Amino acid sequence: MKRVTILIALVATLATSAMAQTISSPNGQLSLTFALTDNGTPTYAVDFKGEPVILPSALGLKLNGTADLLDGFSAGEAVKSTFDEVWEPVWGEETHIRNHYNELLVRLTQTATGRQVNIRFRLFNDGYGLRYEFPRQRRLTYMTIEDERTEWALTGDHKAFWIPGDYSSQEYEYVESRLSEIGELAPLYKRKSVTTRFSDWGVQTALTLKTDDGVYITIHEAALIDYSCMHLVYNPETKVFTSWLTPDAIGNKGYIQTPCTTPWRTAVITDDARELLASRLTLNLNEPCKIEDTSWIKPVKYMGVWWELITNKNSWAYAKGGNIKLDLVDYSKLEPNGRHGANTENVKRYIDFASKWGCFDQLLVEGWNIGWEDWNGKQKDYVFDFVTPYPDFDLPELQKYANEKGMRLMMHHETSSSIRNYERRMDKAYQFMVDNGYNAVKSGYVGHIVPRGEYHYGQLMNNHYQYAVEKAAEYKIMVNAHEAVRPTGICRTWPNLIGNESARGTEYQSFGGIHPQHVTILPFTRLQGGPMDYTPGIFCMDLSTFSPKNTSKCNSTLANQLALYVTMYSPLQMAADMPENYERYIDAFQFIVDVPVEWTESRYLSAEPGDYIVIARKDKNSPKWFVGGVTDENQRTMPVKFDFLDKKKQYVATVYADTADADYEKNPESYRIVEGKVTAKTVANIFMARGGGFAISIREATAADRKMKPLRIK
């Protein structure tokens, strides 16, 4: 895979005093001003179309055991430059990404201590990034961070789409409220189990805001490498968000050593919600690809022995009972529980179904390996060796069986958050994958971290996730990590990181349901950092149908499930339901078969966070287009303009839509399929039921379609 930089212009334009400096975005709509206050505190402020969006906001760090880096700075040099390039991602929502910004680097010295800190600002047309840089210097070598004090001073009591602060989980419903309501609402949403809430005013990023003037602001971070994950704490009196890093087991928030840089602190700013979806700011602030040969990295469409486990129809574990200490277990002596999903026969059944369609690359099998009897127990150093299949899982036979049918198995490593155990076994586990024909692993970090007291989003764990991805690259393995820290665009640098969970995914439809608006918020928030393994494609919405004790309902119409393959961008897409559920609606399943996982371009047709999203994308390997639309708990009729199509051509559209009486609560599986001719001039008004949506596949018309009528859909 070539990574061609088509155009680069890097011009250092100015080197002057840094007391106060302003730069503009390439299109002039945004401007960013850096200034030092009277006591030498670095600040920045941002205007959008001449109006303030971020008021003067302080920058700096509090350190442990030494003077803070908050004030007392004097200005040195300020260097301005411009950068413009187009780069080609290994996979993505398009084949070319423009990285165009104006940059300001200010060099500061703390007068009393002589310590140097540089702050680098990059201003794009759609937002900014800033980071701290610590040059190599005698007076500043090791730093223990007490906390980072980066501020975002806001101009009003904006509407916010947020999840509560938590050091170990992002698996929340989003709350839509005014900023001033966060403190009151956060305790209601806090999870009781895994979480540690640090403040009722704490929220996680990516955080999306909307001002009363219709300006959208998404605050996040980019390139989270060797640092703690950043949260935000809101002060309702000053209307200021301040960064709040995840602590370690003894309360420190990070350890860094000069020369080094922090991750980027970012905000995407626009008055068109579609621009939030189109923004590539997070990716652009990451380093270019570090993998020389990327030919082995390929988007993946997959099925899995998974939903039957999540819904509790079957189990991951093989043996009866639990709490069995692994090093004492001789599986041949244990009694099978009779519900083990990953048995050879059942896995073959999935392969038989999936391989028929010619579109599925892989089959994920969870519960294939020994250890689930004590997987989250007290003996975390013993569970899971990642190389020993259960006695009823014939790995060589199954990989052969899959290969013969044009597929392969996907590996699963549930680490149960026992990091020491995983790291010491990792080389063997990856080599085992290579030896057995696997090239992708879904990893997971359920439960409290071992070493105890560490959090999922602390520096130690972030370094672990990064280590797992880089080590996987050595073995040409693609990684999809669940429960890891939310992504910050690192997939640009390490494109073998093809997915993450790091949010509330479809599994929650089986744990009590997900509010329909969730999928109208995720692309504006969580997906800003990278793709999510959301695992769509549920066709049987009443889970008690096949798992009698499970009273959950999937809060979505069937057409909404199809739309997610387009609206939730990921190079890794799962058809998450079971073959028997797909058999019931095999004509609708055709959309999952047809929809690709590789795109040349994406058009964001309509969007409003918390309400609706409509996206069109063009297939990378054919002239086909695909459109997806989702709505929240309200029904609505969306006008869809087909003006993204080639004006000179005729097309045939197949629309998978909600019926007039579809409804995520009352009638979720009711859909209709309508076919008709379309051109670039077509406008279709498509109905979306409550919790509904639509999916469209569009192909070029042929002579055989001569008599087909224009698309008519009401």
Note the residues at the interface with Ca ion (CB under 5 A): 482
**C-beta of 194 vs 713, nearer to ligand NOJ:** 194
Nearest residue to 108 (alpha-carbon basis) of 11, 220, 18, 234:
18
Sign, CA dihedral 167-609-513-537, equals negative
**C-beta of 57 vs 502, nearer to Ca ion:** 502
Nearest residue to 101 (alpha-carbon basis) of 77, 130, 141:
130
Nearest residue to 577 (alpha-carbon basis) of 245, 395, 379, 313:
313
Residue 366 interacting entry, from ligand NOJ, Ca ion, none, C-beta within 5 to 8 Å by type: ligand NOJ
Element (H, E) at 537: none
Smallest separation, CB 414 to ligand NOJ (Å): 4
Is residue 539 a contact partner of residue 577, using CB atoms and an 8 Å limit?
Answer: yes
Is residue 589 a contact partner of residue 578, using CB atoms and an 8 Å limit?
Answer: no
**C-beta of 323 vs 332, nearer to ligand NOJ:** 323
Q: Which residues are catalytic?
A: 507
Is residue 315 a contact partner of residue 367, using CB atoms and an 8 Å limit?
Answer: yes
Task: Report the phi/psi class of residue 371: left, alpha or beta, with left for phi > 0 and alpha for psi in -120 to 50.
Answer: left
Smallest separation, CB 472 to ligand NOJ (Å): 17
Smallest separation, CB 444 to ligand NOJ (Å): 4
Give phi and psi for 365, each to the nearest 5.
-125, 115
Smallest separation, CB 413 to ligand NOJ (Å): 9
**C-beta of 127 vs 513, nearer to Ca ion:** 513
Is residue 164 a contact partner of residue 197, using CB atoms and an 8 Å limit?
Answer: yes
CA–CA gap between residue 290 and residue 336 (Å, rounded): 46
**C-beta of 145 vs 411, nearer to Ca ion:** 411
Window 500-539: residues binding ligand NOJ (CB under 6 A) = 501, 507
**C-beta of 45 vs 194, nearer to Ca ion:** 194
Smallest separation, CB 165 to Ca ion (Å): 18
Nearest residue to 664 (alpha-carbon basis) of 512, 556, 508:
556
Is residue 128 a contact partner of residue 53, using CB atoms and an 8 Å limit?
Answer: no
Residue 638 interacting entry, from ligand NOJ, Ca ion, none, C-beta within 5 to 8 Å by type: none
The two tokens of residue 91 are 């996979």
C-alpha distances (whole Å) from 644 to each of 68, 209, 612, 702 are 53, 29, 19, 19
Residue 414 interacting entry, from Ca ion, ligand NOJ, none, C-beta within 5 to 8 Å by type: ligand NOJ
Residue 558 interacting entry, from ligand NOJ, Ca ion, none, C-beta within 5 to 8 Å by type: none
Residue with tokens 């259960």: 390
Residue with tokens 């009277």: 38
Smallest separation, CB 535 to ligand NOJ (Å): 7
Per-residue DSSP letter, 709: P
Residue 594 interacting entry, from Ca ion, ligand NOJ, none, C-beta within 5 to 8 Å by type: none
Residue 8 interacting entry, from Ca ion, ligand NOJ, none, C-beta within 5 to 8 Å by type: none
Residue 687 interacting entry, from ligand NOJ, Ca ion, none, C-beta within 5 to 8 Å by type: none
Window 290-329: residues binding ligand NOJ (CB under 6 A) = 306, 310
Element (H, E) at 516: none
Is residue 13 a contact partner of residue 306, using CB atoms and an 8 Å limit?
Answer: no
Residue with tokens 């880089």: 470
**C-beta of 291 vs 354, nearer to ligand NOJ:** 354
CA–CA gap between residue 58 and residue 37 (Å, rounded): 9
Size of the site for ligand NOJ (CB under 6 A): 9
Beta bridge partners of 14: 80
Residue 103 interacting entry, from Ca ion, ligand NOJ, none, C-beta within 5 to 8 Å by type: none
Smallest separation, CB 309 to Ca ion (Å): 13
Please write down the long-range contacts of 177-180, taking CB distance under 8 Å and 24 or more positions apart. Answer: 179/154, 179/209, 179/234, 179/236, 179/239, 180/236
Window 484-503: residues binding ligand NOJ (CB under 6 A) = 501
Nearest residue to 205 (alpha-carbon basis) of 133, 131, 265:
265
**C-beta of 115 vs 482, nearer to ligand NOJ:** 482
DSSP 270-319: ESSHHHHHH--HHHHTSPPP--S--TT---EEEEEETHHHHTTSSBS--B
Smallest separation, CB 534 to ligand NOJ (Å): 11
Nearest residue to 181 (alpha-carbon basis) of 196, 195, 199, 200:
200
Nearest residue to 227 (alpha-carbon basis) of 113, 124, 133:
133
Residue with tokens 């919405």: 541
Is residue 391 a contact partner of residue 436, using CB atoms and an 8 Å limit?
Answer: no
The contact mask relative to ligand NOJ for 170-199 (x = CB under 6 A, - = no) is ------------------------------
CA–CA gap between residue 664 and residue 657 (Å, rounded): 13
**Total residues found in the chain within this entry:** 714
Residue nearest ligand NOJ (C-beta atom): 414
Smallest separation, CB 507 to Ca ion (Å): 6
**C-beta of 448 vs 482, nearer to Ca ion:** 482
Window 446-475: residues binding ligand NOJ (CB under 6 A) = 446
**C-beta of 316 vs 694, nearer to ligand NOJ:** 316
Window 366-425: residues binding ligand NOJ (CB under 6 A) = 366, 414
**C-beta of 464 vs 482, nearer to Ca ion:** 482
Is 482 a binding residue for ligand NOJ by CB under 6 A? The answer is yes
Give phi and psi for 397, each to the nearest 5.
-65, -40
Smallest separation, CB 281 to ligand NOJ (Å): 28
Quick one: how many helices (H) and strands (E) in the chain? 11, 37
Beta sheet of 202-204, edge-to-edge order: 20-24, 30-36, 42-48, 51-58, 151-154, 240-245, 230-235, 202-204
The two tokens of residue 626 are 């695909």
Smallest separation, CB 156 to Ca ion (Å): 35
Is residue 463 a contact partner of residue 500, using CB atoms and an 8 Å limit?
Answer: no
Smallest separation, CB 386 to ligand NOJ (Å): 13
**C-beta of 482 vs 690, nearer to Ca ion:** 482
The two tokens of residue 162 are 């947020």
Binding site for ligand NOJ (CB under 6 A): 306, 310, 366, 414, 444, 446, 482, 501, 507
